[in-house]
Homo-oligomer: A and B are copies of this chain.
Amino acid sequence: MSDLTFDLIKEDGWARLGTLLTAHGAIDTPAFMPVGTAATVKAMTPEAVRDTGAQIILANTYHLMLRPTAERIHRFGGLHEFMNWPGPILTDSGGYQVMSLSELRKIEEDGVTFRSHLDGSQHKLTPERAIQIQHLLDADITMVLDECTPFPATEEEADSSMRLSMRWAQRCREAFRKRPGYGLFGIVQGGVYGELRAESAKMLTDIGFDGYAVGGLAVGEGRDLMLKTLDVTVPHLPKDRPRYLMGVGKPEDLVGAVRRGIDMFDCVLPTRSGRTDQAFTRRGTLNMRNARHKDDPRPMDPQCTCYACANYSRGYIHHLVMAKEILAAMLLTWHNLHYYQELMSAMRDAIAEGALDAFTALFAAEQASGDLDPI
Contacts and interface: CB of A to CB of B under 8 A. Distances in A.
A320 B40 contact: yes
A43 B327 CA distance: 6
B330 A75 contact: no
Interface stretch (A89-97, A309-317, A358-366): A309-317
Contacts of A45: 307, 327, 330
A222 to B, nearest CB: 32
User: Size class of A's contact patch?
Assistant: 20 to 34
Interface string A289-317: 00000110100000000010001110110
Interface stretch (A15-23, A76-84, A128-136, A177-185): A76-84
Contacts of A329: 326
A67 interface: yes
A160 B114 CA distance: 68
Contacts of A76: 297, 313, 315-316
Question: How many copies, total?
Answer: 2
Interface in A41-91: 42-45, 63, 67-68, 72, 75-76, 82-84
Contacts of A315: 68, 72, 76, 82
A38 B322 CA distance: 10
A325 B295 CA distance: 31
A327 B82 contact: no
A214 interface: no
28 contacts: A38-B325, A39-B316, A39-B319, A40-B325, A42-B325, A42-B326, A42-B327, A43-B327, A43-B330, A45-B327, A67-B319, A67-B323, A68-B294, A68-B315, A68-B322, A72-B295, A75-B295, A76-B315, A76-B316, A82-B313, A82-B315, A82-B316, A83-B316, A84-B311, A84-B316, A326-B326, A326-B330, A330-B330
